[in-house]
Amino acid sequence: MAYLNETHEPTLESWVASANVPDNGFPVQNLPFGVFRKAGSSEGFRPGVAIGDQALDLAALAQTKPWDGMAGVALAACQSSQLNDLMSLGQAHWSALRLELSRALRAGSPMQQTLAPLLIPQADLEFSLPARIGDYTDFYISLHHATAVGKQFRPDNPLLPNYKWVPIGYHGRASSIGVSGQKFPRPIGQTRPANENSEPGFGPCERLDYELELGIFVGQGNAQGERITVSDAESHVFGLCILNDWSARDLQAWEYQPLGPFLAKNFASTISPWIVTLEALAPFRTAFQRNPNDPQPLAYLSSPDNKEAGVFDITLDVLLSTQQSRSSKTEPALLSSSNFKEAYWTVAQLLAHHTVNGCNLQAGDLLGTGTLSGPNPGQEGSLLELNQGGKKPVTLPWGEERTFLQDNDEVILRARCSKPGYPSISLGECAGTVLPARF
């Protein structure tokens, strides 16, 4: 595959011993980017990359000016509190920096003495949002999720007529996006009245849900009025993270018509701290296939590259812990597992569609995939699907039941790429906790 280069060699090992532990998730083939500082300190947040159970301080490395050319320019862009400057440089610069970092962190590297003092255990870090997110768009690209939810409202016709033609999305709220570990109060709002002669209810949400998603960070943007083609779209993507787009289902049921999601979605969204580049995910590409009985993508959403390898094989897990389970030191319960390869649209198609009308994207903008559910039981990406619209509570291993989330529940999302003969690549963890409403 043309996407592969020396950084993907499966036999590469690092002089950072923990990076060579099987299934550690952060081998030298990964090198995801994030922003951090020592926990509890007053230090400034700065960029770094994960390697094994350590993180390399890129801001400190930049002070040594180890490289010239595009890698040097890219490293110099890693000295602020966010990654936007690096993101805006473009794919050639990201790739050059990745190559030099890979070489410097490999076993036998002459740079070991320089880099070793710049490592910090990840367990000693606190994280910030990896980028300044100017805009946030959430899509709806799981056919299985859309069908399962649609059946609850339209049993005979669950999908709207445009679903298989156009990537559906809405403009979300960037200001309430937080990094893993985010804690937020249960939202409050209006709910559907008991009948048409009653006034709406008002109070804390009673049907709070999670949504298992991936986030797509835009790198180099486009000028207003200029379209990003599907063939060029991936060069504008810095990388992927995990995303939980929390949803207040009872608020949503009352407000979403006629203009779609609003207060049911904008109170909190949580992302994982590490951004895994598309280059790191290259070994896990697979072909884009559309059911021949479905409408095929219009020309602006189709390209040979996208057909051949536009899909990423990423396994996604949802886990839940409660106040009771944590008190008894019980491991979180696995609720479901799905895979990004089941999505109806690809990363490239989302960017191409987002800009086809001339919309300008900027470095650090975030696109959500929408809930990523699979076709089979056990692959649901939300409680709304697991509990069949509130009709079937989920029984947890320690005896509690959940129809929707309760106060002090913690939802943990994980994502990983695995295949025989290659080190597994982790996207890290995205955890968030529901606090009582401030009512």
Contact 340, 312 (CB under 8 A): yes
Residue with structure tokens 């219009």?
298
**Cα 179 from Cα 212, distance rounded (Å):** 15
In 274-419, alpha helices (H): 304-309, 323-327, 347-355, 383-386
Out of 8, 93, 144, 145, pick the active-site residue: 145
145 has catalytic annotation: yes
Q: Strands, DSSP E only, in 164-249?
A: 169-171, 177-179, 182-185, 188-191, 201-204, 208-209, 212-218, 237-244, 247-248
Reading the block at residue 141, the tokens are: 């690209």
How many C-beta atoms surround the C-beta of residue 384 within 10 A? 24
Give the count of alpha carbons within 13 A of 153, CB side only.
9
Q: Nearest 10 degrees: CA dihedral of 264, 268, 274, 276? A: 20
Contact 86, 74 (CB under 8 A): yes
**Cα 367 from Cα 370, distance rounded (Å):** 9
Give the count of alpha carbons within 13 A of 427, CB side only.
33
**Cα 68 from Cα 432, distance rounded (Å):** 41
* Residues noted as catalytic: 145
